Amino acid sequence: MLARSTVLNKHNRYYEVYRRYFERFEAEVSDSSKKAHWKAILRVAERILRDLHGLAKNTKQTPDT
């Protein structure tokens, strides 16, 4: 849902990822642009998770006391 929301609101970084994958998948699957849309949304979700994972690694963790 987060990936779909970022695409609908045309977030700068993630909308570019979506457009790139959508164009690629649309060329592969000529019978349905709906399928290409959801495949591209999935790639955006993967990118968001990858970015969040990178942020989690870079933050300093403090022990709970």
Q: In whole angstroms, what is the distance from residue 10 CA to residue 60 CA? A: 31
Neighbour-count burial for 1-29, b at 16+ CB within 10 Å, e otherwise: eebeebbeeebeebeebbeebbeebbeee
Instruction: Evaluate if residue 17 carries a pLDDT over 70.
Output: yes
Residue type, position 30, single letter? S
Taking residues 47-56, report their average pLDDT. Answer: 92
Predicted model pTM: 0.80
Token couple for 11: 């977030």
pLDDT of residue 26: 87
Please tell me which residue, 29 or 38, carries the higher pLDDT value.
38
